[in-house]
A = this chain, B = another copy of it.
Amino acid sequence: MTSDLIESSLMPGQLLARGVSRHLRSHDFVSVEELVPSQGLRVDVMGLGPKGEIWIVECKSSRVDFQSDRKWQGYLEWCDRFFWAVDSDFPTELLPDDTGLILADAYDAEIIRVGPETRLAPARRRVMVQKFARHAAIRAQTARDPGFVHIY
């Protein structure tokens, strides 16, 4: 698919996620989308930093999207830092002060506020980096070898 085709197939939240992932690279973080840290949870963007830092970024395309989220506090225990990513029209006063804030569009993003750090215990960090690695590798393999998913 060309870039344009990919873009038109993405939902508003996924476009924000793309901009966030691009921006995280400038902080030397790599990212995956839609990782499941634990049953019933699925994070929009999980970033992995050069020293094994784990960030979670939830992308909210509208007020309704944010207000209908009943799960976000469940993400806090799976990361060192938590951020919201919203576009420039979003009413940011709705967001809790003690969370991170990223202003994003489909092309890039900017970190406006870094929330508090609550460092993962070493054992959980190990598990999360391993989950991240497996998730990313399966996505990468699916991309380089579209035939493989049909086998196993």
Question: With a CB–CB cut-off of 8 A, which chain B residues contact A137?
Answer: 30-32, 48, 132, 136, 140
Number of copies: 2
Let me know if A113 is at the binding interface, CB within 8 A: no
Q: Is A63 an interface residue (CB 8 A)?
A: no
Q: Which residues of B contact A140 (CB under 8 A)?
A: 32, 136-137, 139-140, 143
Interface size on A, residues (CB 8 A): 36
A64, CB-defined interface residue at 8 Å: no
How far apart are the CA atoms of A151 and B129 in the complex, in Å? 26
**When each residue 128-141 of chain A gets 1 if its CB lies under 8 Å from chain B and 0 otherwise, what string results?**
01101110111111
Q: Are B138 and A30 in contact (CB under 8 A)?
A: yes
